[in-house]
Amino acid sequence: MTVTNAGQPPPQTKKRGGCGRTLGCGCLLLILLLALVVGGGYWAYTSGAISPWQVYKLSQPKPLTINLDNLRDDTLYVTVTFLDSEDDPPFSYDRDLAAFDVRVTYLQKAGRYRIDFGTQSGGADLGACNLSAAAGERYQFIALPDKIVVNRASQPSQVGADYVLSTCSFCR
């Protein structure tokens, strides 16, 4: 004999809780992680593991670094101009590099720069580079007797032509 449920509603299936439980666990995990970071920071500060100066340095953007190497037998004149400046004329400064001199320049602002290389002050007879540089990038310019070599040290190029100033794709 078979029993049928004629006239009776089908048996109820248990409903799941929805996404409330997952959302609650995620929020709890986030609060615990935040408490761990804040507690760890407080412990590091009070124990002397980190100083206010180190916190300040960590909060500052990394400067744009430009290495200038003169491997020529004569003086190299370099002019760096910040093109995004609202000043008229734009902010610029000159560097004189004696033969076989090496200088490092740190620039705090990211943006567009023009770097002129010449054998005379204010000249660009050896070439120029128009950079769109971000904070933390590092560039190296090496003046050789017959050309200027450029290296984006923070992201080295995979193309040989990018290492020569006159054909470099990121100096346009």
Q: Are 126 and 118 in contact (CB under 8 A)?
A: yes
39, 94: one domain? no
What is the per-residue pLDDT for 113?
92
> What does DSSP say about strands 76-82 and 111-118: parallel, antiparallel, or unpaired?
antiparallel
Q: Which of 32, 59, 86 is the last residue of a domain?
A: 59
Residue 35, pLDDT score: 94
Q: How many structural domains does the chain have?
A: 2
Buried b (16+ CB within 10 A) or exposed e, 66-98: bebbbbbeeebbbbbbbeeeeeeeeebeebebe
Identify which of 120, 117, 112 has the alpha carbon closest to the alpha carbon of residue 141: 117
Dihedral sign from CA coordinates of 120, 126, 132, 133: negative
SS3 74: coil
At residue 149, the pLDDT reads 94
pLDDT at 148: 94
Could you tell me the CATH number of the domain that includes residue 151? 2.60.40.4150
pLDDT of residue 58: 76
| Structural domain contains residue 5 | no
How much is the pLDDT for 145?
92
Same domain for 39 and 100? no
78: β partners: 95, 117
What's the confidence (pLDDT) of residue 17? 58
Terminal-to-terminal C-alpha distance of the chain: 90
Q: Are 104 and 65 in contact (CB under 8 A)?
A: yes
Q: Among 95, 102, 92, which residue's Cα sits nearest to residue 78?
A: 95
| Residues of the chain under the 50 pLDDT cut | none
Q: What DSSP string runs through 12-40?
A: PPPPP-TTHHHHHHHHHHHHHHHHHHHHH
Instruction: Give pLDDT, residue 116.
Output: 93
Is residue 140 in some structural domain?
A: yes
Range of the domain at 44: 22-59
Given CA atoms 109, 94, 129, 74 in this order, what sign does their dihedral have?
Answer: negative
Are residues 88 and 134 both part of a single domain? yes
The model carries a pTM of 0.65
